[in-house]
Chain A
Amino acid sequence: DAGITQSPRHKVTETGTPVTLRCHQTENHRYMYWYRQDPGHGLRLIHYSYGVKDTDKGEVSDGYSVSRSKTEDFLLTLESATSSQTSVYFCAITDNSGNTIYFGEGSWLTVV
């Protein structure tokens, strides 16, 4: 257990509504990531952060924004959810070596 908590774990929302997923870590690690996992696509990187207020885009960043105001929290926001954003979202952190990624348990989001 790498001390990563995602919330909510499950959410159903309507198209067009804003949604925020929260990732909280207790490890004080610098790097945090948001991935989405879909059948046939594996895990795809949405955004990542390399420090407080320092973020960058991943492979599939369109429609998503992130914020990191504290080391321990990394928020993923869908400003206006669409059905194509129905997915499982994983938060992850890296250890101090920067090599190994530790994942949270996932957040299941359904957009209806």
Chain B
Amino acid sequence: SQQGEEDPQALSIQEGENATMNCSYKTSINNLQWYRQNSGRGLVHLILIRSNEREKHSGRLRVTLDTSKKSSSLLITASRAADTASYFCATDVNTDKLIFGTGTRLQVFP
């Protein structure tokens, strides 16, 4: 499987703290994406970073990509209780499909 692996599997922090989660993958990619899933819901796209990009920002989200290490990180700054969710990275195996990792469960306590 060319699945991505997120680390840590679970993360608990207080509101206002930053949350960092990492993703490692196995093969060369064109792009890497991060998705969020609230309990009992479908996944929602957060951000896409292309293989020729090293860093990307979107609001309180910061994504980095290191293609030499085949890894990416998602940083959520100034976390809120509403950020509590599972976060998944996804890599494009080819132009037809995305392969998802196993996810990081983030719990933000008020």
Contacts and interface: CB of A to CB of B under 8 A. Distances in A.
Interface of A: 31, 33, 35, 40-45, 48, 50, 56, 58-59, 90, 92, 98-106
Interface size of B as a range:
20 to 34
Contacts of A40: 102
A71 B95 CA distance: 19
B97 A45 contact: yes
- Interface SS of chain A: helix, strand, loop or mixed? strand
B64 interface: no
A31 B92 CA distance: 14
Contacts of A103: 42-44
Interface string B23-46: 000000001010100001111110
**4 cross-chain pairs, A with B, having the tightest CB-CB distances, nearest first:** A103-B42, A42-B102, A43-B100, A103-B43
- Interface SS of chain B: helix, strand, loop or mixed? strand
Contacts of B33: 99-101
B61 interface: no
A23 to B, nearest CB: 11
A33 B93 CA distance: 14
Given A31-B96, A42-B100, A42-B101, 8 more contacts: A42-B3, A42-B88, A90-B42, A92-B42, A92-B43, A99-B48, A100-B33, A101-B45
A106 B42 contact: yes
Nearest to A59: B1
